Structure 1
Amino acid sequence: MSVPKLRFPITDSEWYEKSIIDLADYVDYRGKTPNKTDSGVFLVTAKNIKQGYIDYESSQEFIDPSEYDEVMRRGKPKIGDVLITTEAPLGNVATIDKENIALAQRVIKYRGKEKLLQNSFLKQLFLSPSFQMELISKATGGTVQGIKGSVLHQIKVCIPNIKEQTKIANFLSSVDEKISLLNKQYNLLCEYKKSAIQKIFSQELKFRNENGNAYPAWKIKPFRTVYSLLGTNSLSRNELNYENGIIKNIHYGDIHTKFNCRFDINKELVPYISDHIKIAEDNFCRKGDLVIADASEDYNDIGKCIEIMNVGQRQMVAGLHTFLARPSTHMAPGFGCYMMQSSEVRKQIKVIATGVSVLSITKKNLLELMVPLPSIDEQTKIANFLASVDDKIIIKKSELDRLTTWKQGLLQQMFI
């Protein structure tokens, strides 16, 4: 048996191969769905299990404490047990960090056998690219992929002796702690920004001018009085060129998944438009334009937007399922995107969004939104303050991404 590319120099012993079932005891919680209550014992579902940890905020379901013993009759969790999801999503992994929880369907709990498999090592093994690829190769199903417990248990894994397992697990756990700390710092900054926007646009938090005096009272105006809507380019995927081209294309998917609210073309990656596509001059984005997503499956994404802050030498256009809103009166750079994030505007967008599986907003309804407008000078102060918070968020996210990528590289090299 071979050994990983990267290992600790504490032993020259070979790694050996065994089925998971030979190394760990398990409990499969699939079966009858437990009755849910408004409070009680927290029910950990597949939605709560992320890549390495249990997220208690993403989904909150509970069962009656009086039913706990019956629901968990197959085996109660212990701190350190390893969870893996078997469907929707497949292959997410977490370590149990508290005992007073219940486990739902589509979750299997493993506990390493004494002197054979350490739980912390098992968690990292399950997270490794080699195991995840093996898991996917044995999964079945179309849109929703899943794996049977009987198949999962028989997957063969390569492990070292318990001493080396401990060394590997301790090292990777220390990396996880740093990732967790960065993630908390990132989330705190995001929450701070959200709170700051709420306080600013409710005018609980007020800015003053250089002389310490209050700015003029805010006005409430229809969106159509400060922005005009221009045509966009609903290009098909075949008309986009992801390698090169002259023009960059921003579509609704990019806004939902990639962008902060301030968009700098020199720093962001978006698909190009093939050179043969002709674009009208007015359709090119300009500094101060808002690109607004007019369609989404999620109320939280509908109406999201970015503000163009730097067009650069390579031009870009708004693409599929977007509105291109151009300031028709003078607006302070960077203010519009924060204005569109305010709860006052977001509430209106959710009201005008229509549809069943896919939500959309019309140009007519968008133009009639009532938006809060302080003076230009106060807009500038607000935009600069929130932009400074965004800069901190971007830096922290970059640190988190780099460390996460490094961890993935370690997993690639430390497991077979």
Structure 2
Amino acid sequence: MSELPKGWLSIELKEICKFIDYRGKTPKKVSAGLPLITAKNIRDGYINREPREYVTEDSYEGWMTRGIPEFGDILITSEAPLGNVACIDIEEKFVLAQRAICLQISDKSVSKFVHYFMRSPLFQVLLLEQSTGTTVKGIKSAKLKEMKVCVAPLNEQIRIANKLDSILAKVDKAQARLDKIPAILKRFRQSVLAAATSGDLTDSSVTSKEWKSVKLIDVVETKPRNGKSPKGVDFDTGIKNLTLSAITPGYFVENKFKFVDLDVSENSHLWVKNQDILIQRANSIEYVGVSAIYEGEDDKYIYPDLIMKCRANDCILPKYLYYALSSEVVRKYFRDNATGTTGNMPKINQAVVSAAPISLPTLVEQEYIVGLVEKLFRKADKVEKQYLDAKARLDRLTQSILAKAFRGELVPQDPNDEPAEKLLERILAEKEQNKPKKVTRKRTTKAKTAEKV
């Protein structure tokens, strides 16, 4: 830890905190009961009650045997995700699940200060350095206990925490406004596609009466076909098999593939060609039927079993077909016709995909519509880029404010404040006093008795 402001101290978490860790335990979930707080609920600086999960009230006493989290205590996620920190603002009884550790400090004013420090880049960088794992990073409880936090004089802590409360509340309001933009952009794009594929986007001088209601099978060269999904390998075979994530956003994403050890002939249908349409035939209900158009190099990729591929024929432009498949009318058709048992991914088959409804204007009108859609989408893309830039700046601002606070630059220091050493003495004394006392039991021996005859 870098040089601390005057009068500050650093100390290991285990010296000032009681750790409540339910790692390795998974409570049985029910549809209603006491709230279960998991790592998914703990965000950076707050607890999100969604997703809502519950356990029975009857199981509370038997479950919460390692300690009871209290209002104002600190929660930190130990993995998936690592390092989200929040103060508990829940007054009702709740159950803490694994991958979330509770830190209890007797003085809740100190808790708030320590919680802010643990969210700062000073702590988060060290946390990442102490973590283990490759795919998923995690921190062991023993390592976390040895990590150091800084402690300022109590009055200074209160001033810093109050200042951070005020500033970050404004940042949160700005973040809340920004968070509305993706949904607005999604609705805008869907509105554009709905108008484009129904004849409402163009004016009367362009819109013809020659629109036809057809099915996908009527506008593609051959029936849509599944790909293949052999097991991926960890060496370069030259055969790149796309993953679902290559088209999950609703557009094609380069370099989302795995190498497969498969002999693919030059004329195989598995090769993806420029202007091919790719459709997800299995995924969660939100994504089943998501489509993308491939506009890259021929034969660079093959495609997997969970994707279907088709190609526009001469009566439809590939881009118009892609927009039609991306419209809410067709997306809803795919969701409504997906099948699958509980616990499995919903799926659409070849017959369902082939029967997808397409509103078909003339080629001239298709070309005009595609041009209008792309023009409007470029404007939406520009707004989205501005949103992403603003969000990144806001994220950096929060970290910058926290870093400034723990360099001692956010509020003035007061030489009359009680030294941090005195505060630590009280915390350590209270922690020692609250330790469970060991109960010693006297050994009892049975007295030997001799029966006199």
Q: Secondary structure, in 3 states, of the residue corresponding to 1:262?
A: coil
Counterpart of 2:11?
17
Instruction: Tell me the C-alpha RMSD between the 2 structures.
Output: 5.6
Counterpart of 1:134?
130
User: Equivalents in 1 of 2:105, 2:385: separation in Å?
Assistant: 39
Where do residues 5-404 of structure 1 align in structure 2 (5 Å cutoff)?
11=5, 16-18=10-12, 20-25=13-18, 33=27, 36=30, 43-57=36-50, 59-61=51-53, 75=68, 77-78=70-71, 81-85=73-77, 91-97=83-89, 99=91, 102-106=94-98, 107-114=100-107, 118-124=113-119, 128-136=124-132, 151=142, 154-162=145-153, 163=156, 178=171, 181-182=174-175, 185-190=178-183, 192-194=185-187, 197=190, 201=194, 207-211=200-204, 216=209, 219-227=212-220, 228=222, 229=224, 236-238=232-234, 240=236, 250-256=242-248, 260-263=249-252, 268=254, 270=256, 280=266, 283-287=271-275, 289-296=276-283, 298-308=284-294, 310-311=295-296, 316-321=300-305, 322-328=307-313, 329-331=315-317, 333=319, 336-337=322-323, 339-340=325-326, 342=328, 344-349=330-335, 351-354=337-340, 359=345, 361=347, 364-373=350-359, 375=361, 377=365, 379-380=369-370, 381=372, 384-385=375-376, 388-401=379-392, 404=395
User: Equivalents in 2 of 1:90, 1:145: separation in Å?
Assistant: 6
Q: Secondary structure, in 3 states, of the residue corresponding to 1:285?
A: coil
Structure 1 residue ranges without an equivalent (≥5): none
> Aligned letter for 2:148?
V
Counterpart of 1:3?
2
How far residue 286 of structure 1 moved from its aligned partner, in angstroms, is 1.7
User: Equivalents in 2 of 1:172, 1:269: separation in Å?
Assistant: 42
Specify whether residues 146 and 208 from structure 1 end up closer, same or farther in structure 2 by C-alpha distance, changes over 3 A only: closer
Q: Deviations over 1:330-382 (max 9, x none)?
A: 13626625633626434535644547766475762354342242536475355
Is contact 1:220-1:370 (8 Å) kept?
A: no
Specify whether residues 225 and 128 from structure 1 end up closer, same or farther in structure 2 by C-alpha distance, changes over 3 A only: same
Specify whether residues 156 and 185 from structure 1 end up closer, same or farther in structure 2 by C-alpha distance, changes over 3 A only: closer
Is contact 1:35-1:63 (8 Å) kept?
A: yes
User: Equivalents in 2 of 1:397, 1:368: separation in Å?
Assistant: 37
Is contact 2:36-2:97 (8 Å) kept?
A: no
Q: Secondary structure, in 3 states, of the residue corresponding to 1:207?
A: coil
| Higher alpha-carbon Rg | 2
Is contact 2:80-2:136 (8 Å) kept?
A: no
Q: Which has the higher strand share?
A: 1
Is contact 2:229-2:304 (8 Å) kept?
A: yes
Specify whether residues 197 and 99 from structure 1 end up closer, same or farther in structure 2 by C-alpha distance, changes over 3 A only: farther
Specify whether residues 326 and 97 from structure 1 end up closer, same or farther in structure 2 by C-alpha distance, changes over 3 A only: farther
User: Equivalents in 1 of 2:82, 2:326: separation in Å?
Assistant: 36
Is contact 1:87-1:146 (8 Å) kept?
A: yes
Is contact 2:277-2:318 (8 Å) kept?
A: no
> Aligned letter for 1:286?
N
Specify whether residues 158 and 61 from structure 1 end up closer, same or farther in structure 2 by C-alpha distance, changes over 3 A only: closer
Counterpart of 2:442?
none
Q: Secondary structure, in 3 states, of the residue corresponding to 1:48?
A: coil
Structure 2 residue ranges without an equivalent (≥5): 407-453
Specify whether residues 143 and 403 from structure 1 end up closer, same or farther in structure 2 by C-alpha distance, changes over 3 A only: closer
